[in-house]
Each structure stands twice: as structure tokens, then as C-alpha cells.
Amino acid sequence: MRLPVLICLLLSTLLTGCTTILNIQSNVRVVDKPPFERILIVSRLPNVPPGYASTFIGAFPSQYTVCSVDVSPIDFETPEELISRQLDECKSQVMLTLDLNRSFSGNSGKYITGYNNIYLEMSSVTTGKPFWKAITLSTTTALSPREVVQQLIKDGVLNGKSPVNNPRYP
């Protein structure tokens, strides 16, 4: 009788071991959080496919209107022009920016290794003040929109629930 229980425990351990959970450390300044319903997602991540920021659009609770812009070094417009144009078109009240935090490295000399964690910041468009900041605790090139939205909900920045059963947002 112990063998089936042992097999079940082993299988569940193996299956959960295959799941990667991105750790996000975050901080909220509630006094600076404005009421909002319109969000602009700005991706400054260099190693993601074009249109990556748009994958966040359907991951937010239904009461939020979400627009996006990918900032790329090969754009002819400056990042400020791209963002300003999209803010005007979408009439966004807040902006969620995804960027790399290139703050540390390992090894030295020709063996130096860079570690790039993703830095996230949500700020008011009106005041420019950030009210939510986060950083990934593991190095990665892209984030799951669902994990970011779930963290925002957990931190009380967003209300509602993230959409479920949407295969586009793992």
C-alpha cells in the first residue's frame, strides 16, 4: 500500500519541479497611487520579439483599458516621441514600464558575466511619480503578463481578477 502513495508523491514532486515560478519583489507607495482605468505598457526590453508589450493587453482585468508600445533601438522616432504619441492616442492615466536592471555582474576579466533582472515601474502620467516598483529575482528575458498582473492585484494596485483560460497568457 505504501508503494502507490510513494509513486504519487514522486510524480507530484516531479511535476511541480517542472513549473517555473518567477519571483517578483515589489513595493507600493499607496499615497501616490492615483485612481485609473487606462494603462500604457511600455517595453524597453531589447531581447523580446516585436510586439511583446501588446501581449499584456488581454491579461488585465476587464475594467482596465490597456495600450502598449515597444521601444526599440531601430525605431526612427525617439523613445519619448513613441511614448508621447501612444499616451495621446490612448489617453492613458498611468504607465507601466518594463526595462532591464543592469546593476550587477559576476566573475571578472574575460569571464565576466552580466545579470539582467527586469525592472518594472508603474507611474502616474500626470505627476510622473512612480507608485509601484518591482524587480524580478531571477534573470530572464521576458515576463509572463499573467504573473505581472497577478502581482499588481496582490499588491492592491489593480482591482479584479486576471482573465482565465486564455492560452495566450500563460
73-126 pLDDT, tens digit per residue, is 778 888 899 999 999 999 999 999 998 876 555 566 666 655 568 889 999 999
Tally of helices (H runs) and strands (E runs) in the chain: 3, 6
pLDDT tops 90 at residue 41: yes
Predicted pLDDT at 17: 35
Q: How are strands ordered across the β-sheet holding 130-136? A: 24-28, 130-136, 113-124, 94-106, 38-43, 65-70
Number of domains observed in the structure of the chain? 1
Query: Cell numbers 511583446 correspond to what residue?
Result: 52
In a domain, 74, yes or no: yes
Residue 167 lies in a domain: no
- Give 11's pLDDT tier (boundaries 50, 70, 90): very low
What was the pLDDT predicted at 75? 83
Q: Name the residue range of residue 80's domain.
A: 21-154
Residue 16 lies in a domain: no
Looking at the domain assignment, is residue 164 inside a domain?
no
Q: Considering only CA atoms, which of 128, 136, 138, 133 is closest in space to residue 157? A: 133
User: 55 in a domain, yes or no?
Assistant: yes
pLDDT band at residue 4, thresholds of 50, 70 and 90? very low
Q: 6 pLDDT band (50/70/90 cuts)? A: very low
- Considering the domain boundaries, does residue 91 fall inside one? yes
Question: CATH code at 63?
Answer: 3.90.950
Q: Flag whether the pTM goes above 0.95.
A: no
Is 159's pLDDT higher than 70?
Answer: yes
What is the per-residue pLDDT across 43-68, written as a single tens digit (0 to 9) for each?
A: 998 878 888 899 999 899 999 999 99
Q: Could you tell me if residue 46 is inside a domain?
A: yes
- CB burial string 94-129: b at 16+ within 10 A, e below: bbbbbbbeeeeeeeeeeeeeeebbbbbbbbbbeeee
Measured CA to CA, the distance from residue 123 to residue 46 in angstroms comes to 21
Q: Please indicate, yes or no, if residue 3 is contained in any of the structural domains.
A: no
**Three-class SS of residue 42?**
strand
Q: What is the mean pLDDT of residues 125-141?
A: 86
pLDDT score of 131: 96
| Average pLDDT taken over every residue of the chain | 79
